Amino acid sequence: MSDTPRPRSRALLMILVLGLVAACTWAYLAYTDGAEPPPAINDVPQAEAQQQSTLVDQESLRVMQTRATLSSALARGGPAAAQARVPHISSSANGQTLVLPQRRDPYRIADLERLGLEQFQKQSDGSFVLGINVFLGPGAKLVLQNAQGPLVIRMRSEPGAFVSIVGFDASIRVNGSAQNPVRITSWNPHTRTADTQVSDGRAYLRAIGGELRMSHARVEYLGFWSGPTGGLALTGTDRPAETAERVPVRPGVAATAAPGTSGSGRKPADREDDERKTLLPNGLLVPSRGGDDEVEITDSAGGSKVAYQMPQANLVTGEISDTSVVGNAYGIFISASDQTRITNVTIGDSLIHGVLLHRFARNASIENTTVTGSRGDGFVLSRGTQNVTITGSTAERNAGNGFTISGLPLAQGPSASGESLRSFGGDSLLSSAARDNGRYGVEVQGGIRPVVQTTEVVGGEMGIVVSKDATGAQVSGNRVRGQSSQGIVLRDGVVSARVSGNIVREVPTAIYVRNARVTVTANTVQSASLHAISVLGAAGGSEITGNTLGGAGRSALDTARATGSLTVARNNTGGWQDTAGFWTMVKRIAKPMNLIWFGVILLIVIAAIRALNGDGPRAGRRFVDPYEKQAVLEERPARELRAAAVAAAGKGD
């Protein structure tokens, strides 16, 4: 008989294998409680992304060239400096720019009308259309306000052309009032509406260093692609101060110094071809980016040395208050700043994030600010920010997180720029609200002593998530409810965190701890439907004490999957109803090793059944008693046995 299994045997074996796979998958999901992939944000077609990125590069080059030309002219002195000290129009391959150099009085709307000519004209409805780029040089001041009635500035933004207002180490002030706000919007003259297409660039407002102060304004549909061109941007430089390095200079050389440097002398007029070049200390003459940190010293023979100086960091500062921002790429973008403040601001429908504080934004405060409907996160404090406080603010119906706070280091190891490996800290979220955001209410990534306190978090996939080696996090006094997965989560290397005084209700798992060392104390859980507190993985040194746990689910305290020394004491579970039914019990014992042993035993049983039923290579055989054919001895009387023995002996003789 063939040893090949019959079709019924194959089917039975296939069912067994599929059952084991399904059971293992089930056990894995039960063990991890469903890990979540982050959603993608702003998927942009490659061609459109490349186009916008190129436009950002062109804008950076235009601004850099404008600044370099102005600085160079002022440094040369003579007729060139005299011309540079008055407002003028600079032309480049990337468009025309109205350059406003420093003067005693600030530039106002009347000055823009006079200087911009047909490029800044008042319309029949009282608004102004700006059709040329505006650049404010170091020390210049621009005040946008209207003494009578509201001020409306429409910045031209159409396919193939858009304008910007950029201040470099200057002062930009937008002064409206509750009765007469200032409105700044992009404007497509062909459609006579705001520009809502960003693939071909869009008008924007930016302060590079210096200050930007805005009150009682409405900013609409500005910006594209990057933070600096994102709509309303305050940016600075993050270069630290360094001591000047002096290099010996041969006698007889002439020096040309940009403003603010230590050089002296003037550059020969016949050296115009080297106007924007700088000789570095190594003797290499390279194109200059127009910085004030380079001093070029040349002689008539072309030989040169240089006195080289690095300035202090040029941080931006400012305040935005009583303002609404609608439809920007980034609602408000801030980087390399100090002492910036956002107060009483509403931001809606941003194409990326609502408020983004980027690298080296420090000592900032955000108060009474609301972000709704962003395609990314509501508020973002990215890596490199520190000592930022968000108070009384709301993030609602954003596609990503309500609030994202990152204290991660700028690098995890060696990097080309040698970034620091230290974490950042001091960021706080206080008395705020995150409602119905697409991902998490609040996410804290890394950092030192981040604080999330007295904040309401409603809806979303998870409520408050602290992860990625955050140290000393404080999560206290918050009200969390209605998440689809977990309420408060601490995971992935979090240490010395404290979760206390929170109220978590109407979630499957209220407090979830995985591979973290935390203290969870004095929290109240209501109406949890899976676990009140769940602890998984390496949790040695954690303490779960003094919590009041209520709900109905598998267990109030789920600590069976935790490893390490764990303190669990004085928790009130009187309000918990254990609803562990048949399937819940199965899930509790459906651990990977249990399933493996179950599969082994099941295989043995199936093999035995097949043998009994005639399946498999031993088909047709059955179990038999090896002694069934052996005759059973009959009992005989003793005398008959003796007689038979005697008779047998006689015959033998």
The pLDDT confidence band at residue 189, using thresholds 50, 70 and 90, is very high
Q: What is the pLDDT of residue 240?
A: 41
Q: Do 221 and 186 touch, CB atoms closer than 8 A?
A: yes
Q: What's the whole-number mean pLDDT along residues 43-72?
A: 89
Q: Which two tokens stand for residue 314?
A: 């040029």
Q: Which two tokens stand for residue 571?
A: 């928790």
Q: What is the pLDDT of residue 307?
A: 37
**Does residue 327 register a pLDDT over 50?**
yes
Q: What is the pLDDT of residue 426?
A: 92
Could you give the CA distance from residue 371 to residue 366 in angstroms, rounded to a whole number?
A: 12
**Does residue 149 register a pLDDT over 90?**
no
578 pairs with which residues across the strands? Answer: 553
Instruction: Tell me which amino acid residue 597 is.
Output: W
| Residue with token string 């940190």 | 293
Q: Phi-psi category of 438—alpha, beta or left, where left has phi over 0 and alpha has psi -120 to 50?
A: alpha
In 3D space, the residue among 165, 176, 116 whose CA is nearest the CA of residue 142 turns out to be 165
Q: What is the pLDDT of residue 607?
A: 74
**Does residue 645 register a pLDDT over 50?**
yes
**Which uninterrupted H or E stretch holds 52?**
helix 46-76
- Which positions ≥6 away from 24 have C-beta within 8 Å? 592, 595
| Burial (CB count within 10 angstroms: exposed 0-12, middle 13-18, buried 19+), residue 605 | exposed
**Does residue 222 register a pLDDT over 70?**
yes
Q: What is the pLDDT of residue 608?
A: 73
Q: What is the pLDDT of residue 589?
A: 63
Query: Higher model confidence: residue 247 or residue 529?
Result: 529
Question: Cβ atoms within 10 A of the Cβ of 183, count?
Answer: 17
Q: Where are the domains of the chain?
A: 7-35+593-618, 254-308
Query: Higher model confidence: residue 76 or residue 495?
Result: 495
| Burial (CB count within 10 angstroms: exposed 0-12, middle 13-18, buried 19+), residue 143 | middle
Q: What is the pLDDT of residue 273?
A: 37
- Which positions ≥6 away from 25 have C-beta within 8 Å? none
The pLDDT confidence band at residue 609, using thresholds 50, 70 and 90, is confident
pLDDT tens figures, 244-296:
333 333 333 333 333 333 333 333 333 333 333 333 333 333 333 333 344 33
Q: What is the pLDDT of residue 416?
A: 78
**Does residue 558 register a pLDDT over 80?**
yes
Q: What is the pLDDT of residue 421?
A: 82
Query: Higher model confidence: residue 355 or residue 277?
Result: 355
In 3D space, the residue among 80, 25, 33 whose CA is nearest the CA of residue 530 turns out to be 33
The pLDDT confidence band at residue 97, using thresholds 50, 70 and 90, is very high
The pLDDT confidence band at residue 2, using thresholds 50, 70 and 90, is very low
| Residue with token string 């008989």 | 1
Could you give the CA distance from residue 492 to residue 463 in angstroms, rounded to a whole number?
A: 17
Q: What is the pLDDT of residue 550?
A: 96
Could you give the CA distance from residue 13 to residue 586 in angstroms, rounded to a whole number?
A: 23
The pLDDT confidence band at residue 220, using thresholds 50, 70 and 90, is very high
Query: Higher model confidence: residue 579 or residue 643?
Result: 579
- Which positions ≥6 away from 527 have C-beta within 8 Å? 505, 506, 550, 551
Could you give the CA distance from residue 469 to residue 460 in angstroms, rounded to a whole number?
A: 23
Could you give the CA distance from residue 526 to residue 549 in angstroms, rounded to a whole number?
A: 7
pLDDT tens figures, 445-469:
999 999 999 999 999 999 999 999 9
**Does residue 532 register a pLDDT over 50?**
yes
Q: Are strands 88-92 and 95-100 parallel, antiparallel or unpaired?
A: antiparallel
Q: What is the pLDDT of residue 76?
A: 87
Listed in order, strand segments (DSSP E) in 471-580 are 474-476, 479-481, 486-491, 495-500, 503-505, 509-514, 517-521, 524-528, 531-538, 543-545, 548-553, 555-558, 562-563, 567-569, 572-578
**Does residue 585 register a pLDDT over 70?**
no
Q: Do 554 and 577 touch, CB atoms closer than 8 A?
A: no
pLDDT tens figures, 365-407:
999 999 999 999 999 999 999 999 999 999 999 999 999 999 9
Query: Higher model confidence: residue 33 or residue 609?
Result: 609
Q: What is the pLDDT of residue 34?
A: 40
Could you give the CA distance from residue 394 to residue 439 in angstroms, rounded to a whole number?
A: 15
Instruction: Tell me which amino acid residue 29 is.
Output: L
CA 97 to chain centre: 35
Could you give the CA distance from residue 195 to residue 109 in angstroms, rounded to a whole number?
A: 23
**Does residue 330 register a pLDDT over 60?**
yes
| Residue with token string 């005040």 | 143
Q: What is the pLDDT of residue 635?
A: 53
Give percent above pLDDT 70 in the chain. Answer: 73
Q: What is the pLDDT of residue 42?
A: 52
**Does residue 311 register a pLDDT over 90?**
no
Could you give the CA distance from residue 370 to residue 329 in angstroms, rounded to a whole number?
A: 16
Q: What is the DSSP letter of 273?
A: G
